[in-house]
Amino acid sequence: MASKINNRSHLQGFSTKAIHHGESFAKDTGTVMPPIFPSSTFAHGNPNGFDYTRSGNPNFKILESVLSSLENCEFASVFASGVSAITAIASSMKTGDLVLCEENLYGCTVRLFEKVFHKFGLRTSWVDFTQPSALNKINTLEPAMIWIESPTNPLLKIINIKKICDTANKKQIPVTVDNTFATALLQQPLDLGATLSLTSTTKYINGHSDALGGAICTRDSEWHERMNFAQKALGLQPSPFDCWLITRGVKTLPLRLDRQVKNASALADLLARHPLVNWVRYPFRSDHPQNNIAKQQMNAGGAIITASLKTDLIKTYAICKSLQYFTMAESLGGVESLVCHPATMTHASVKAETRTHLGIDDSLVRFSVGCEDLTDLSTDLNNALE
């Protein structure tokens, strides 16, 4: 059944693909929801070739069949977290390899490269990929890998994925796109030319803030083998139960994100009109610096809004704390709204000068907009800004 679904997948709509997965591995039961297979080991010689859960499990396969169909590709590998997925790719590089990175990558990606893989001789170079000169670096530095993320965190910079992949593909340099903020519903990195599309399924894909997971999708069978090797060799595998939760969560991704995008675009406009707000960043607003590229490569503007307030650090923090429905917490993408103050939370350990260079000032606030009623969220924001 799995192969039948994947063969047809280009003919199906996104919601259908999110709901229907491949083989359930429980054919004779008629079960509508797949079972959870908590077994650590499997009898030798079983028809599906399972042996030990570190290197594969029916719940991994079920989730992989959904994710590969959503990303229009043959292969997906699932991991214990987004960071495990990043580790899988980084561990397939060798001493001396150079990774050319967007300078505004997710903080834990930066930490992993600089504090862990640097010790093993992996080199990094950081550029602002919104600048045309960054494309020249691909030609002059000839990196072993290019690593981008769009929209970025927390400034929601939009990187032109196709342009970078076109340049990199001419030189056969693989490109990894961290697609966590957009998800396959809003952006298809592999169609734009990327080699690897990485997602922290902890965020929108699961959507209920109750499991951690990561995934890598690709059309390249060699990279797929490397990812499966890393999964078992480094012990990066997820738990069957978390895969089951994420398989359940992804079924409502289109429904959730539809509401979240509607809420976010209305709240972005509300914030932009407010006298206490310096500026608002939202990819589908016409005042976003890369609005044209966003409209080319994304189906919608997403559900994250970043705003700069006309206040100092203490007052910004107090405003975040006073919100009723936006819980002040790290992470994003769940049905419940969250607010993050990067200067005291996600980017607190980043040096002040680096923060300034990246444009992360003390009065910056990032909203992950959830599925609540828009009127309640609007009232909440207006009250907090009073």
Ligand X SMILES: *Cc1c(COP(=O)(O)O)cnc(C)c1O
239 binds ligand X (CB under 6 A): no
Q: Which is nearer to ligand X, 206 or 316 (CB)?
A: 206
Q: What is the rounded (10 degree) CA torsion for 165, 195, 19, 180?
A: -70
212 binds ligand X (CB under 6 A): yes
* Span interacting with ligand X, options 51-59, 64-72, 174-182, 365-373, rule CB under 6 A: 174-182
Q: Which of 9, 24, 81, 218 binds ligand X (CB under 6 A)?
A: 81
**What burial class does residue 146 get, using C-beta atoms within 10 Å of its C-beta: 0-12 exposed, 13-18 middle, 19+ buried?**
buried
Shortest spacing between CB 292 and ligand X, in angstroms:
23
Report the residue closest to ligand X, judged by CB. 82
Shortest spacing between CB 176 and ligand X, in angstroms:
11
Shortest spacing between CB 180 and ligand X, in angstroms:
4
77 binds ligand X (CB under 6 A): no
Active site residue ranges: 54, 106, 178, 203
Cα distance between residue 344 and residue 265, in whole Å: 26
**What angle, rounded to 10 degrees, do the helices at 313-322 and 374-385 form?**
150
Shortest spacing between CB 313 and ligand X, in angstroms:
23
Q: Which two tokens stand for residue 164?
A: 């970078």
Cα distance between residue 268 and residue 283, in whole Å: 10
Q: What is the 3-state secondary structure (H, E, C) of 95-122?
A: CCCEEEEECCCCHHHHHHHHHHHHHHCC
- Give backbone dihedrals phi and psi of 209, rounded to 5 degrees, phi first: 50, 35
C-alpha distances (whole Å) from 175 to each of 168, 217, 274, 367 are 7, 12, 40, 29
Q: Which of 102, 178, 242, 362 binds ligand X (CB under 6 A)?
A: 178
Q: Which of 21, 61, 203, 347 binds ligand X (CB under 6 A)?
A: 203
82 binds ligand X (CB under 6 A): yes
The residues pairing with 2 across neighbouring beta strands, listed in sequence order, are: none
Q: Which two tokens stand for residue 99?
A: 């990774």
368 binds ligand X (CB under 6 A): no
Q: Which of 77, 176, 200, 337 binds ligand X (CB under 6 A)?
A: 200
* Span interacting with ligand X, options 175-183, 245-253, 285-293, 339-347, rule CB under 6 A: 175-183
> Between 14 and 43, how does the x/- string for binding to ligand X read (CB under 6 A)?
------------------------------
State the CB neighbour count (10 A cutoff) for residue 29: 8
Cα distance between residue 169 and residue 135, in whole Å: 12
**What angle, rounded to 10 degrees, do the helices at 221-234 and 82-90 form?**
110
Q: Which is nearer to ligand X, 250 or 385 (CB)?
A: 250
* Interface of this chain with ligand X, residues 338 to 367, rule: CB under 6 A: none
Cα distance between residue 370 and residue 186, in whole Å: 16
State the CB neighbour count (10 A cutoff) for residue 23: 17
214 binds ligand X (CB under 6 A): yes
155 binds ligand X (CB under 6 A): no
334 binds ligand X (CB under 6 A): no
Shortest spacing between CB 207 and ligand X, in angstroms:
13
Cα distance between residue 321 and residue 374, in whole Å: 20
Answer whether 50's CB lies under 8 Å from 102's CB. Answer: no
* Span interacting with ligand X, options 39-47, 61-69, 75-83, 275-283, rule CB under 6 A: 75-83
102 binds ligand X (CB under 6 A): no
Shortest spacing between CB 87 and ligand X, in angstroms:
9
Shortest spacing between CB 212 and ligand X, in angstroms:
5
Measured distance between the N- and C-terminal CA atoms of the chain, rounded to whole angstroms: 57
242 binds ligand X (CB under 6 A): no
Q: Which is nearer to ligand X, 83 or 250 (CB)?
A: 83
Q: Which two tokens stand for residue 288?
A: 């976003």
Binding site for ligand X (CB under 6 A): 81-83, 106, 108, 149, 153, 178, 180-181, 200, 202-203, 212, 214
